[in-house]
Structure 1
Amino acid sequence: MGTVTDYLETLTGPNRETLTRVVAIARELAPEAVEGMSYAMPALLIDGKGLLSALETKKHLAIYPFSGQVLPQLADELEGFDWAAGTLRFSADHPVPDGLVRRIVELRLAEIEAKTRRR
């Protein structure tokens, strides 16, 4: 058990279910991801780089793809959500569709892989 698992266990109800689903999709696409911290948030990491964090705040739930490039590429699909370059905000009542979570994770994975190949 790592920091993401520990964090999710602190949540309750629909918020926990919603964020657990987001993390499960990321794990499915990146089974090699390990749990750790990135920018002081519990996160899934690939090669030490943040892949994704999914958190509950006082006002909303949020996905952080640790990139300012991923969400802008999906702007057309983010209509109806509150978002900025590095954060997608949503609620358990208005969750991010699984397909959109998949595209976010796939784009971030591609970024990490491209950076790794350049080394």
Structure 2
Amino acid sequence: MSVIDEYIRTCPESIRATLQLLKNIISQEAPGAIEKISYGMPTFYLKENLVHFAAAKRHIGFYPTPSGVTVFKSELGAYKHSKGAIQFPLDKPLPEDLIRRIVGFRVREVVEKHLQGRE
């Protein structure tokens, strides 16, 4: 069992399936990423922190770094968001396509950054 699976296991049963879906989406879009816990949150790491997520009382926090929010800001109108965070309400389905595109963007951004030596 991975550290992220363990995190999900400790969350309320009512949100575990949603958290598992989010984890699966991220894993599919970032297959080379390492799973870890950072800042107390499930984190996918690819040469640097790629994205984080966390369970809250009424939402799932998704943290794709400020660039991941900025690039997709025009599509985030339905969600509370800030500089580096997006809140997905628990009473609505996850926006799977949007999450896939954000994670894909972050993977490309990180790979390009490290290929160019801007570590």
TM-score range, shorter chain: 0.7 to 0.9
Misfit runs of 4+, over 2 Å: 37-42
Q: Given that residues 60 and 87 in structure 2 are in contact (C-alpha distance below 8 angstroms), is that contact kept between their aligned partners in structure 1?
A: yes
Q: Does residue 69 of structure 2 align to residue 53 of structure 1?
A: no
SS in structure 2 at match of 1:8: helix
Unaligned runs of 5+ in 1: none
- Please give the per-residue CA displacement for 1:9-61, whole angstroms capped at 9, x wherever unaligned: 112334211121111011011111111133342211112x1122221123421
In the alignment, is residue 5 of structure 1 matched against residue 1 of structure 2? no
Q: 1:39 to 1:111 in 2, by over 3 A?
A: farther
- How many residue pairs end up in the alignment? 117
Indicate conservation of the 8 Å contact 1:44/1:50, yes or no: yes
Shift of 1:81: 0.5
Q: Which residue of 2 aligns with 1:16?
A: 16
Identity of aligned residues (%): 30
Equivalences for 1:39-78 in 2 at 5 Å? 39-47=39-47, 49-65=48-64, 67-78=65-76
1:117 paired with 2:115, answer yes
Task: Give the secondary-structure state (helix, strand or coil) at the position aligned to 1:96.
Answer: coil
* Contact 2:58 2:90 (8 Å CA) reproduced: no
Partner of 2:106: 108
CA RMSD in angstroms comes to 1.6
Q: What SS does structure 1 have at the residue aligned with 2:81?
A: strand
Which TM-score applies when normalising by structure 1? 0.87
Q: 2 CA distance for matches of 1:92 and 1:36?
A: 23
- Residue 77 of structure 1 and its aligned partner are, at CA, apart by 1.1
